[in-house]
Structure 1
Amino acid sequence: MIAAQFANPRGLLGRLVGRVMARDNAQLTRRVVAVLGLSGGETVVEFGPGPGVGLRLLAEALPRGRVIGVEPSPVMRAQASRRTRRFPVELVDGTAATVALPAASADAICAVNNVQLWQPLPESLARVMALLRPGGVFAIGVTEHAVLPDDSSAGRHYDDRLLPHLREAGFTALTAAWEPGGNGHELLVTARRPG
């Protein structure tokens, strides 16, 4: 039951899970945002922003840009809205598989602790690729404790499972690095849409 709340937070327990996510994923979220190398005017989409920690960091880094959060959980959209209320952040109900944003409209895309839940993963990655402008960067953060669809954890070798899917989707310039973090060991993956 708790694992399901991390996958799709709902109700009172979902609100508490959001607080845990905000705390435990903060370090990885900062790494993900930093690796995007933003200059201040880009359009960035975050998939599964949860309680909005990453959206706030993105909004602070993009004073002339556009920040869009795509989040299926109403509980998380509410927390993200409160956390970013002083910024012009757009929150959209959806997932990587269902998002209805224009093709080639994002300079960068990121996701923290949710790409491992994307179903179906190949089609979701194809949509992300289509959403990115040529040369755009995709940054993914996954902790070893991230919940998988079968309620198990991603583990320390999740990159071995993820990178082949990114290559199949057409992403290039792949990097993957594990580091100790606030939620166990944390994987940071970057990929680019070919320019």
Structure 2
Amino acid sequence: MIYNQFAKPKGITGKFAGMFMERENRELNDWTLSFLDIGKKDRVLEVGFGSGAALKRIAALEPEVLYGMDPSEPMVEMVLRKLNDQTYSNQVGIFHGEAGQLLHFHKPLDKIYAVNNITFWEDPIEILRHLCTLLSEQGKIALTMVPHEEEATDDTTEVLGGQMQSLLVKAGFKHVKIHFKSEKPNDAVCVTGMKDNMIG
């Protein structure tokens, strides 16, 4: 049940799970976003936004467009309330569902990121391939994970990094890089990739 709540939070328990993830992911979000250098002309998507802490921060940066996708209805409701508390000059769109259900946007995206949720995706290669089609030619993606299994170690983090690197390469991303961050109880890993070979 606990695993399911973090994968797809539901009801009151799910809202508590979302608040826990927000506290834990705060530094991870900042670290992940540091690889994307989001600017005012960017079109950004967060996959699995949870309680919406990163979305709210990015909205304040006023990118051209900001989208969020999450399979949890309670998380969608929570984030809509948070975003409605403030007025943003840019466009913010919130979607309820799985990343693979996203249709093509009117304009391609520039940045996509996901924190602590790719291990819940049913078919990560196909979803990443789909996300790649949504990116602009110089678009960039960042995937961050911290292992939470009971017997996980920093070695687990290294394995996760290698697995995510392999997924991005198989999905067609180029210039794939692995980044590590010292954390407790286990290190974090962020893997970045681009739609083409240009270095950004």
Aligned CA-pair RMSD: 2.2
Counterpart residue number, 2:119 = 116
Higher RCO, Cα 8 Å, sep 6+: 1
Any conservation in 2 of the 1:26–1:182 contact (CA below 8 Å)? no
Counterpart residue number, 2:68 = 69
* Residue deviations 1:116-164 (CA, integer Å, cap 9, x gap): 211111110111100111110001111122x7xxx99793220121211
CA distance in 1, matches of 2:81, 2:34: 23
Point out where structure 2 has 5 or more consecutive residues left out of the alignment: none
Matched, 1:132 2:135: yes
Counterpart residue number, 1:79 = 78
Deviation, structure 1 residue 174 = 0.9
TM-score by length of 2: 0.87
Counterpart residue number, 2:44 = 44
Return closer, same or farther for 1:111/1:182 CA change in 2, 3 Å cut-off. Answer: farther
Q: Give matches, 1:18-57, under 5 Å.
A: 18-57=18-57
Return closer, same or farther for 1:39/1:131 CA change in 2, 3 Å cut-off. Answer: same
Counterpart residue number, 2:162 = 160
Q: Report the 3-state secondary structure (helix = DSSP H, G, I; strand = E; otherwise coil) of the residue aligned with 1:119.
A: coil
* Residue deviations 1:76-106 (CA, integer Å, cap 9, x gap): 1112222322135210112221112327610
Structure 1 or 2, whichever has the larger Rg, is 2
Deviation, structure 1 residue 108 = 0.7
Number of aligned pairs?
Answer: 190
Any conservation in 2 of the 1:53–1:83 contact (CA below 8 Å)? no
Return closer, same or farther for 1:9/1:175 CA change in 2, 3 Å cut-off. Answer: same
Return closer, same or farther for 1:183/1:152 CA change in 2, 3 Å cut-off. Answer: closer
Point out where structure 1 has 5 or more consecutive residues left out of the alignment: none
* Counterpart residue identity of residue 100, structure 1: L
**Which has the larger helix fraction?**
2
Counterpart residue number, 1:181 = 183
CA distance in 1, matches of 2:60, 2:165: 30
Any conservation in 1 of the 2:44–2:63 contact (CA below 8 Å)? no
Deviation, structure 1 residue 167 = 0.6
% same residue: 26
Counterpart residue number, 1:12 = 12
Counterpart residue number, 1:90 = 93
Any conservation in 2 of the 1:109–1:139 contact (CA below 8 Å)? yes
Deviation, structure 1 residue 60 = 1.5
Return closer, same or farther for 1:162/1:152 CA change in 2, 3 Å cut-off. Answer: farther
Return closer, same or farther for 1:169/1:104 CA change in 2, 3 Å cut-off. Answer: farther
TM-score by length of 1: 0.89
Identify which range, 125-134 or 91-100, moves more after superposition: 91-100
CA distance in 2, matches of 1:43, 1:33: 14
